[in-house]
């Protein structure tokens, strides 16, 4: 089968190929899902254990910067909603 023969198929044959491929892939996905379900149910695949983090670093500075960023955004939106204007930089300019 060469490329020209692929271009010369009728629309009906084309859609039949698409339908057959879709059905085949759907059946394949269902079979894979079914096999995974059976493996998990029969405990062949062990469940994932949640590990408790013993030490986590909380970055207070990052939290403050995030709060300030969203507070500034809130102020800009309030200014726009009240009819004011906000300076916007054109990203296309160097």
pLDDT digits (tens, 9 = 90+) for 15-56: 999 999 999 999 999 999 999 888 888 877 766 666 655 556
C-beta separation of 76 from 86 below 8 A: yes
Q: What is the pLDDT of residue 52?
A: 54
* Distance separating alpha carbons of residues 66 and 74, to the nearest angstrom: 12
Q: Which residues are CB-neighbours of 86 under 8 A, at least 6 positions away?
A: 76, 79, 80
pLDDT above 90 for 3: no
* Distance separating alpha carbons of residues 9 and 2, to the nearest angstrom: 12
Q: Which of 90 and 4 is assigned the larger pLDDT? A: 90
Q: What is the pLDDT of residue 14?
A: 86
Phi, psi of 23, deg, nearest 5: -65, -45
Q: Which of 81 and 27 is assigned the larger pLDDT? A: 27
Q: What is the pLDDT of residue 71?
A: 95
Residue 30 gets which letter from DSSP? H
Longest dimension (CA), the chain: 67
Parse the chain into domains and list their residue ranges.
Answer: 8-47+60-81
Number of H helices and E strands in the chain, helices first, is 3, 0
What is the pTM assigned to this prediction?
0.43
């Amino acid at each position: 089968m060469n490329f020209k023969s692929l271009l010369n198929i009728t629309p009906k044959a084309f859609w039949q190929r698409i339908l057959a491929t879709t059905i085949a892939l759907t059946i394949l996905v269902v079979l894979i899902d079914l096999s995974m379900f059976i493996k998990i149910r029969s405990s062949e695949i062990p469940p994932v254990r949640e590990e408790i983090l013993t030490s986590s670093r909380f970055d207070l500075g990052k939290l403050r910067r995030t709060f300030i960023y969203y507070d500034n955004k809130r102020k800009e939106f309030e200014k726009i909603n009240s009819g004011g204007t906000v300076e916007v930089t054109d990203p296309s300019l160097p």
